Amino acid sequence: GAVVSQHPSWVICKSGTSVKIECRSLDFQATTMFWYRQFPKQSLMLMATSNEGSKATYEQGVEKDKFLINHASLTLSTLTVTSAHPEDSSFYICSAREGGSGRETQYFGPGTRLLVL
């Protein structure tokens, strides 16, 4: 099946710094990628939908200036957490959508654990 990678798998940073997380579809092209955030023992919360070549669509309550998303190519989307604070510490998961209408499948990355000190 299709594979989605994320880099880095974990990152520790100081408060106030910015962190970039990459999401790549390795063997397919994805016009749409999704970014999720998962708190311990909780469900995945959709943060934004990333569309190649256009602006991302953010969910209500997600600050677009805080979580910058760039989907520059059909295989790469990046999430930058700007001026990170301890409350941004979380598990960030991306997924990429493959396939046409009715047969779309979402493939998930392994996640990136962010710890802001």
Partner 1 sequence: AQRVTQPEKLLSVFKGAPVELKCNYSYSGSPELFWYVQYSRQRLQLLLRHISRESIKGFTADLNKGETSFHLKKPFAQEEDSAMYYCALKGNNAGKSTFGDGTTLTVKP
Interface with partner 1 (CB under 8 A):
32, 34, 42-44, 46, 49, 57, 59, 93, 95, 97, 102, 104-111
For partner 1, the closer of residues 19 and 56 by Cβ is 56
For the bound state, the minimum distance from the C-beta of residue 67 to partner 1, rounded and expressed in Å, comes to 16
For partner 1, the closer of residues 1 and 86 by Cβ is 1
For the bound state, the minimum distance from the C-beta of residue 23 to partner 1, rounded and expressed in Å, comes to 12
Mind spelling out the 3-state secondary structure of 32-72?
Answer: EEEEEEECCCCCEEEEEEEECCCCCEECCCCCCCCEEEEEE
d(CA 54, CA 20): 19
For partner 1, the closer of residues 17 and 105 by Cβ is 105
Instruction: Tokens for 86, please give them.
Output: 């301890």
CB atoms under 10 Å from CB of 73, counted, come to 13
